[in-house]
Chains A and B, each alone.
Chain A
Amino acid sequence: MISLRARAIASIGLLAAVLAVFVHTAVAQDNPNAFNRLMKPPSERNSPPESDGIHDPTADGTLMLQPPQESFAGLPKSRSGNYVNWSKAVENGLVTPRSDIHNPDALPIVLDLNIVREVKGSMPDVVYPHKQHTQWLDCSNCHPAIFIPMKGANQISMASILMGEKCGVCHGKVAFPVSECRRCHSKPKPVDQP
């Protein structure tokens, strides 16, 4: 008869411990003066579909989908977006996306041409690399609808990018967002003449 009573005490003890852990977590989350109050903790990044908030966990299909963490494990990291540096992943051959639906051997037409854009204010000038963009895109994706293919012909501002125009058609939606300032603003201004 010891087993029944001992088991009951043990299970209540275990439940109490579990309860204590959850109550503790709840209190920690509610601390109004917690660090990084508005930031997403790394533990919540790249959630599996069933807990990402946009998939219905009761749909059978949801549980068959690949969790992003499984896919991203071997890919270079970045600080925002999917937390994956996609350009580097392609450059290093860690992902090999097709350029043609049916032909896995078709190569993209890559143009290695940098465009320097001098910017107002104190930020470093922007270097726009055609190379990284043509790894993914065709000329016709951007030219001429989004950017007139002529140097100096395009007015671009951070405001328009934030509103989803110009670079913002992709950057801030699917390509790295504007919080990665120095990936574009990468050329220091020439030092002022004395």
Chain B
Amino acid sequence: MKLSFPTILVALLFAFTALMLNVTPQQAEAEYADVVLNEYSEDAGMRPVVFPHWFHRIRFRCKVCHGDLGFQFKAGGNDINMVKIIDGQYCGACHDGDIAWSIENCELCHSGMPNTPTQVHHSTVSQLAGKLRDAAEAADKETEE
């Protein structure tokens, strides 16, 4: 077989396509308790915020944020905006350029996948709600048929 340029090109294209098909990301494998916050972000043209609980609990006990700083135990249950943050409330209590990097590092927090709703990842409640929703949809389908 003669290895002409087009043969090699086709082989390369084929291999590349196969690679892309296999490498595309699958389902969300976010860390347990990662919180996505998207109450205001995307409406304001920014990516949603991802808050990693694991990173913060290594540095602070729960009570620091969920007591001293007044964070409610509920994703989306705290009315947080950038004005409050620059005034030192909520995230701004630490993200001040002293304890932690300050607010000009927009993308370090606003790094979420677009169209991701506010949620706690891998929470038992959301898993159960997902199952109930799937079951309800399946039942609806059955009644239609």
Identify the A interface with B (CB < 8 A).
5, 8-9, 11-12, 15-16, 18-19, 22-23, 25-26, 40, 44-47, 49, 51-57, 59-62, 64-66, 68, 71-72, 80-82, 84, 86, 95, 97-102, 108, 135-138, 140-141, 162-164, 168-170, 172-174, 177-178
Contact = CB atoms under 8 A, between A and B. Distances in A.
Contacts of A72: 54
A101 B61 contact: no
18 contacts: A19-B14, A22-B21, A45-B29, A46-B31, A47-B29, A51-B29, A61-B107, A65-B111, A80-B32, A82-B31, A98-B64, A101-B68, A108-B63, A136-B61, A140-B67, A170-B62, A173-B125, A174-B57
Interface in B30-83: 30-34, 36, 47, 50, 52-55, 57-64, 66-69, 73
A107 to B, nearest CB: 10
B128 A162 contact: yes
Q: Which of A40, A55, A66, A163: most chain B Cβ within 10 A? A: A55
Contact of B111 (A15, A26, A59, A82): A59
A82 B32 contact: yes
B114 A56 contact: yes
Nearest to B66: A141
